[in-house]
Structure 1
């Protein structure tokens, strides 16, 4: 399994490095986005302070973590289906499924590069914010941040694999990506705290893994919250992972079997 993981990682890395300008512009885009929200935070000023008491009173710190994780969630959610579609178009999906690697391993390993690279992007977001824009990291709890990051990968991946299963079955049109991307943007606490939402929508936000991820990560990053301080969010994300990951893998297995029966494995 380990060497299969390395093989998939090398394959995707070679593909990315073959488009050098795109690779470089991804990092340039991070700096531009951080700069944009830095000045937006100045524009918002003290108007949002009363809603940010539990987050250190800094809208820049609040929204920086939000956009870093939103890009992570969106890529994690879409990378499985996008890589599946790419392999279908290149004609490599059928060849990979003819190897001893199972369909579930193919879909999981195909996103290994994206997961590692996007985790690295979060570090870059936080690092650039600290080095150039005054983000205070003196209280950061590394263990808590890593724990939340791992649980985020597991819970987000389940939804992403479910998305890939739907693409395998219907070929076009994926409601999972659209639905969760929209809900996270509106109700996940990315750009504004869920405290400003009406009571009904605030309850809705609690059904999203993004809400619990961002709250726990902000507490660990800005206030040094330990595992015991964010244990509620950890348990919720663990439940999300236990439900969504097996469900996604099962759905993808069934979609592969259906495609093989109909001879549509390479259709897109």
Structure 2
């Protein structure tokens, strides 16, 4: 009986916490629904058999297509989560306000954490990517220099969105709708696990509003088909322009949220 009472108490506590952070609760529920849609589209894509004409522009190898999609999502997750994770870690440790009183500018906290995460992610991905290519005899024709440049340019708009996510987390504390929405839209509409062309026409236009759609296309062309920068210059320029728009906006919004949280005395809350 005592055990049951304690169990009920723990369950009640968790329910209260879930509903206290409504944004996080709703996003968690929606994630399951989106996952079902995603796997449905993947199933539709691979139902065609062993020949995949929609990915011929990337070499036609289905495994290479999936591997590069997974690689891209790892970097997307890095850019979207690093900045808000930096804030949340300092909040949990109770050191955020002390950090602000130190001689280290706030942007350096972001920069150090991002660069560290970028190097670790790159090392991890390189090992896994080439191991899979070797193990499964995946045919690739990588242009290493162009792929690296694409990766750097792809990071620009994603960093901007990551800053927006960090700005939101200063206000909501838990549950980041911007990061969740963008990550979900990327998985659904950016050609990560299936070509954009497989989607119904009435929603396909969403794909071309997302930086990830262009970034995924560029990365596959340079990694799998050996394209050089000149051949992908249009998409390359689109990514640069998006980055030049999103990064300043992200910085502005973060400053706005930061000042609001500091004024209300909730900066260290989480």
Cα deviations by residue, 1:199-255 (Å, 9 ceiling, x for unpaired) = 332221011111111111111111110101111111111011111111111211222
Greater shift, 177-186 or 251-260, is seen at 251-260
Inter-partner Cα distance in structure 2 for 1:192 and 1:164: 30
Contact 2:54–2:195 (CA<8 Å) still a contact in 1? yes
In structure 1, what is the equivalent of residue 71 of structure 2?
68
Number of aligned residue pairs: 226
In structure 2, what is the equivalent of residue 226 of structure 1?
228
Name the CA shift for 1:240/1:120 in 2 (closer, same or farther; >3 Å): farther
**RMSD value, Cα:** 1.9
Greater shift, 105-114 or 69-78, is seen at 105-114
In structure 1, what is the equivalent of residue 160 of structure 2?
158
Inter-partner Cα distance in structure 1 for 2:68 and 2:268: 39
Inter-partner Cα distance in structure 1 for 2:181 and 2:194: 19
SS of the residue corresponding to residue 52 of structure 2 reads helix
Tell me which of 181, 184, 190 is aligned to 1:182: 184
Contact 1:68–1:125 (CA<8 Å) still a contact in 2? no
Cα deviations by residue, 1:106-161 (Å, 9 ceiling, x for unpaired) = 33333322222222233223212222121223x21111101111012222111111
In structure 2, what is the equivalent of residue 241 of structure 1?
243
Shift of 1:99: 1.8
Contact 2:58–2:220 (CA<8 Å) still a contact in 1? yes
Inter-partner Cα distance in structure 2 for 1:203 and 1:103: 38
Cα deviations by residue, 1:176-214 (Å, 9 ceiling, x for unpaired) = 111011101111111001111223322210111111111
Higher radius of gyration, 1 or 2: 2
Inter-partner Cα distance in structure 2 for 1:258 and 1:112: 28
Shift of 1:45: 7.7
Contact 2:142–2:224 (CA<8 Å) still a contact in 1? yes
In structure 2, what is the equivalent of residue 117 of structure 1?
120
SS of the residue corresponding to residue 52 of structure 1 reads helix
Greater shift, 202-211 or 112-121, is seen at 112-121
Contact 1:96–1:106 (CA<8 Å) still a contact in 2? no
The answer on 1:146 being equivalent to 2:151 is no
Inter-partner Cα distance in structure 2 for 1:51 and 1:235: 24
In structure 2, what is the equivalent of residue 213 of structure 1?
215
Inter-partner Cα distance in structure 1 for 2:222 and 2:49: 24
Moved over 4 A (4+): none
In structure 2, what is the equivalent of residue 7 of structure 1?
none
Contact 1:104–1:253 (CA<8 Å) still a contact in 2? no
Q: TM-score if structure 2 supplies the norm length?
A: 0.78
Q: TM-score if structure 1 supplies the norm length?
A: 0.78
Tell me which of 78, 82, 85 is aligned to 1:79: 82
Contact 2:86–2:109 (CA<8 Å) still a contact in 1? no
Inter-partner Cα distance in structure 2 for 1:253 and 1:79: 17
Q: Which runs of 5+ in 1 are unaligned?
A: 1-39
Name the CA shift for 1:237/1:89 in 2 (closer, same or farther; >3 Å): same
Q: Which runs of 5+ in 2 are unaligned?
A: 1-42
Inter-partner Cα distance in structure 1 for 2:87 and 2:72: 23
The answer on 1:130 being equivalent to 2:124 is no
